[in-house]
Amino acid sequence: MELDPHTLQQILQRIYQQMRCPQCGNRVPVDFSAVRVVAAGSLLLQLKCEDCNAFIVLHASIQGMPKTEKEEEQSGIVNASSTLQLSGKEMEMLEGALEESGGSFEKLFAKYAKEEKKDK
């Protein structure tokens, strides 16, 4: 499922309004950078509590979306500049990385956080 940035922002705002850290109970920041995967009918987000530094992996189900990819195609209106996609290569990379980390998102995110720090 493809989402336009405005719809994604509305979803993220809703998550922010409802999301509290399970460890300390404080509000957790939610923004575009937290979105890791947009899949058919769901989002996968990696959140970090700024107060207690807890990492949170959130799987959000998207139900009742006003516009879906099929509806846009039927109407003939597709704005390619405002849609998010996950290519086949990106999906393969994600699956491979998850296999390497034994299915642990914590290990996966830690690995790529270390690589990101090395690049800077």
Please give the average per-residue pLDDT across 5-34, as a whole number.
87
Q: Where residue 86 falls among pLDDT bands split at 50, 70, 90? A: low
- Decide: 62 and 1 in contact? Cβ < 8 Å: yes
pLDDT of residue 120: 60
| Residue extents of the structural domains in the chain | 1-85, 87-120
pLDDT of residue 68: 46
In the chain the first and final C-alpha atoms are separated, in Å, by: 33
Angle between helices 88-100 and 105-119 (to 10 degrees): 110
CA 58/CA 14 separation, integer angstroms: 13
pLDDT of residue 11: 86
- Decide: 97 and 105 in contact? Cβ < 8 Å: no
pLDDT of residue 78: 53
Of residues 22 and 6, the one with the higher pLDDT is 22
CA 67/CA 18 separation, integer angstroms: 23
User: Which amino acid is located at 97 in the chain?
Assistant: A
Please give the average per-residue pLDDT across 13-40, as a whole number.
87
Q: What is the strand order of the sheet 55-61 is part of?
A: 35-39, 42-48, 55-61
SS3 for 85?
coil
The per-residue pLDDT for range 54-78, each reduced to its tens digit, is 999 988 887 765 554 455 455 555 5
Which pTM was predicted?
0.49
